[in-house]
Chain A
């Protein structure tokens, strides 16, 4: 689960990481009021969970409370990459001397935490990592020992932070590490961590991603999940515990298992077709879940062919077949279905589908070839 900038900054404040003064506004009047309170030039920042806010006009520097109100009413009414802006962070403007990158993530191979930093932070950090990897410093933290101060000092010297800021920098590293551990984060980054012209460190922007598998330990955040960046189909899919990602092709796919779902998309593409979606019903899906999955696929107007590929292990083919039947009882559709069932209870599954006048095929290759052929035929 990804936190908003304002939520990340709330975390930073709680962990004594300095941030610019500011508050959240959801109306132009509130934005104006906050600007009056701050009594200085302010920055309005749209709170949406997509990248490239600045370039899309979602970040504005304004000089007066009146201007803050006007700009706020413009941004609050707008959409950024099709997502409506509902909230703004109104913050005091900061004079920047240098932008630093400071981030933490998990090292999959060692089970350690990687602390990453660069003297050249800001929006182009990924480009810097690609072009000049030597400008990125990484430190491995053993979670059994925790972050040690000398590691923070090492980082400070490597990225050449002025000596008088070492102590604050090390404490920011330590506090970010504590927040990362306490919140079960998989990513915590401050980008940029700014050295101001009056020589202070402050977290100008932040991003935190929490481990979805650990949200049971953080019930406060479950209610705060922002779904405005997700499509209605994706929200519906989550409700049923389905993993669904919409793509731009015309062959709707329903598969059990993420790896097999990807392999099914691959073979469709290899045979010259285009998958309309990634959809993994998971292991041991009930017929209700299968029916919900099918409804989501059929709601996509681009879909003109449906390919169902099930390799039963925990999942039972008869349960899937019943789900298909259930969905087709309520949804009227003329679209062609290609169903491939293999594994646990495959014969029962085929029998159920034969009763519903649906043909099944033996192999994945055959299923993909048929689906692609049908999907390329002109719609009559």
Chain B
């Protein structure tokens, strides 16, 4: 089995009539993802994607009629937080937000609501997920992956593509690839996805792609040391980046020296994670295990 998305995913696309939503809905459908509905307020009753997918005015009505259990959001930044809250309110348990540029203030509210309702939010500013051969929820191109036993977690978009592509070139497949999103506040962190992979029978190895900034990788290192039995291979982007443009004293005080590539690599290595120096070294490291 893969994690989070699989053959029983019933997907509703929020923002399906926008240009990005329509474009990627078509791609997800062509890959074999079970899209059951679209939502655009004010366009309920229309049928899109060659008349195959019904559009609803609200997530709630789409869930009632189609039994949707997963949502992907392409709504514009000003409306995306509202779209997440609407999906959570309608009882959707897995929400994937692709939208980039949502104000932090709205995300603070979202973070509290999803914790209270026990909803899994992936993103925002996420490329989404792919479980090869089963489903794409988001914008990851299907052609660059193949089914296999490596779980992939990443904070970035195109760098994730680079890595799963490098794995495929080396004949290594992916169980599920999850982009958790690059924004300051995201719904789900590395550790939560790691625990899903630890429990997943299809996954034998995990590749974790981090980048400079924040404490996410350092926290994940703690989780790996305590709870992961499966081997983890890591890559941290930004080793060659100059010291961060500073975010004022409060940022430096909060992070207290963590956040740069060296700190992340040291933390992960001491948790037993093998670190690749560049993306194409990841499959080489897996082959030695």
Contact = CB atoms under 8 A, between A and B. Distances in A.
A119 to B, nearest CB: 14
Interface string B208-244: 0101101110010000000000000001011111100
Contacts of B147: none
A116 interface: yes
B158 A213 contact: no
Nearest to A129: B253
A207 B279 contact: no
Given A111-B185, A126-B252, A259-B237, A266 B277 contact: yes
Contact of B241 (A106, A262, A312): A262
A125 B253 contact: yes
Contact of A133 (B112, B214, B250, B256): B256
A315 B20 CA distance: 12
B277 A257 contact: no
A313 B241 contact: no
A313 B112 contact: no
B155 A107 contact: no
B250 A114 contact: yes
A364 B237 CA distance: 14
Interface stretch (B57-65, B82-90, B97-105, B195-203): B97-105
B44 interface: no
B13 to A, nearest CB: 16
Contact of B254 (A114, A268, A365): A114
Contacts of A112: 108
Contact of A263 (B101, B169, B237, B254): B237
Interface stretch (B3-11, B35-43, B45-53, B159-167): B159-167
B189 A189 contact: no
B278 interface: yes
B105 A266 contact: no
A58 B167 CA distance: 54
A142 B111 CA distance: 11
Contact of A342 (B101, B165, B248): B165
A119 B39 CA distance: 53
Interface in A249-294: 255-260, 262-263, 265-270, 275, 278, 283
Interface in A186-222: 186-187, 189, 191, 207, 209, 211, 213-214, 216-217
- Give the one of B20, B102, B239, B253 with max A CB within 10 A: B253
Nearest to A216: B78
Contacts of A256: 158
B154 interface: yes
A108 B185 contact: yes
Contacts of B156: 257-260
A373 B82 CA distance: 51
A259 B209 contact: yes
Given A111-B112, A129-B252, A259-B154, A313 B139 contact: yes
Sorting the interface of chain B by its residue count into under 10, 10 to 19, 20 to 34 or 35 or more gives 35 or more
A109 B154 contact: no
A263 B279 contact: yes
A136 interface: yes
Interface stretch (A63-71, A83-91, A97-105, A157-165): A97-105
Interface string B127-165: 100000000000111001000000000111111111001
A368 B278 CA distance: 11
Interface string B62-89: 0000000000000001100000000000
Q: Which of B159, B209, B241, B248 has the most CB of A within 10 A?
A: B248
Nearest to A110: B111
A314 interface: yes
A108 B215 contact: yes
B247 A311 contact: no
A55 interface: no
B204 interface: no
Which of B109, B169, B182, B242 counts the most A-chain CB atoms under 10 A from its CB? B242
Contacts of A312: 141
B107 interface: yes
B165 A263 contact: no
A181 B105 contact: yes
A142 B116 CA distance: 13
A81 B159 CA distance: 35
B171 interface: no
Given A257-B156, A262-B211, A262-B212, A51 B246 contact: yes
Interface string B1-38: 00000000000000000001000000000000000000
A133 B249 CA distance: 13
A187 B247 CA distance: 8
Nearest to B111: A111
Interface in B244-289: 245-254, 256-257, 277-280
Interface in A119-136: 125-126, 129-130, 133, 136
B277 to A, nearest CB: 5
B278 A106 contact: no
B250 A343 contact: no
B185 A130 contact: no
Given A109-B215, A211-B105, A259 B158 contact: yes
11 contacts: A109-B215, A111-B107, A143-B105, A256-B158, A258-B182, A260-B157, A262-B238, A313-B139, A343-B144, A343-B161, A363-B169
Interface of A: 51, 101, 103-114, 116, 125-126, 129-130, 133, 136, 138, 142-144, 181, 184, 186-187, 189, 191, 207, 209, 211, 213-214, 216-217, 245, 247, 255-260, 262-263, 265-270, 275, 278, 283, 311-315, 342-344, 363-365, 368
Interface of B: 20, 77-78, 100-105, 107-112, 127, 139-141, 144, 154-162, 165-166, 169, 182, 184-185, 189, 209, 211-212, 214-216, 219, 235, 237-242, 245-254, 256-257, 277-280
- Ranked nearest first, the 9 interchain pairs of A and B with the lowest CB-CB distance are A259-B156, A111-B111, A257-B158, A259-B159, A214-B103, A103-B250, A105-B250, A262-B237, A269-B240
Given A111-B185, A259-B158, A313-B158, 7 more contacts: A108-B214, A111-B108, A184-B104, A213-B103, A259-B160, A270-B278, A313-B161
